């Protein structure tokens, strides 16, 4: 079974621009969660989507948004980019059911904001 895929793998943007990242979950998984990894803050939860609905949200500003499509693929959007948004963005998929509902991660998108 194919794993979680993320595109693009690397991205360079400038301040003020916006960016869209894509995540394709493992086949059959209906939940997609997004995380931001930075050297200072570690891995932090952004939000989770299940059946095209946001079920949970972390403590990030409204510039960070996402959506999920009927095939469970998810996109994350960051508007008005800031230098501090430079990070590795990881998505993880799971069945979305009973605990522990193990999450499986993609390789990440490395975003650099100049």
Binding site for another protein (CB under 8 A): 4, 6, 31-33, 35, 42-45, 47-50, 55-56, 58, 90, 92, 94, 96, 99-108
Q: How far is Cα 8 from Cα 27, in angstroms, rounded to an integer?
A: 20
Which CB, 78 or 92, lies closer to another protein? 92
Which CB, 44 or 79, lies closer to another protein? 44
What minimum distance in Å lies between the beta carbon of 54 and another protein?
10
113, 81 contact by CB (below 8 A):
yes
| Residue 50: both structure tokens together | 């299940």
What minimum distance in Å lies between the beta carbon of 102 and another protein?
6
Pairing of strands 109-113, 10-13: parallel
Which CB, 93 or 113, lies closer to another protein? 93
C-beta atoms surrounding 18 within 10 Å? 11
What minimum distance in Å lies between the beta carbon of 16 and another protein?
28
Which CB, 19 or 46, lies closer to another protein? 46
Q: How far is Cα 83 from Cα 96, in angstroms, rounded to an integer?
A: 33
């Amino acid at each position: 079974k194919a794993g979680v895929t993320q595109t693009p793998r690397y991205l360079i943007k400038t301040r003020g621009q916006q960016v869209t990242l894509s995540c394709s979950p493992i086949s059959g998984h209906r939940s997609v969660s997004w995380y931001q990894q930075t050297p200072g803050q570690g891995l932090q939860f952004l939000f989770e989507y299940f059946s095209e609905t946001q079920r949970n949200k972390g403590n990030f500003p409204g510039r960070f948004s996402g959506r999920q499509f009927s095939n469970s693929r998810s996109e994350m959007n960051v508007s008005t980019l800031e230098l501090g948004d430079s990070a590795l963005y990881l998505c993880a998929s799971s069945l979305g059911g009973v605990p522990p509902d193990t999450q499986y991660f993609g390789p990440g998108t490395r975003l650099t904001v100049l």
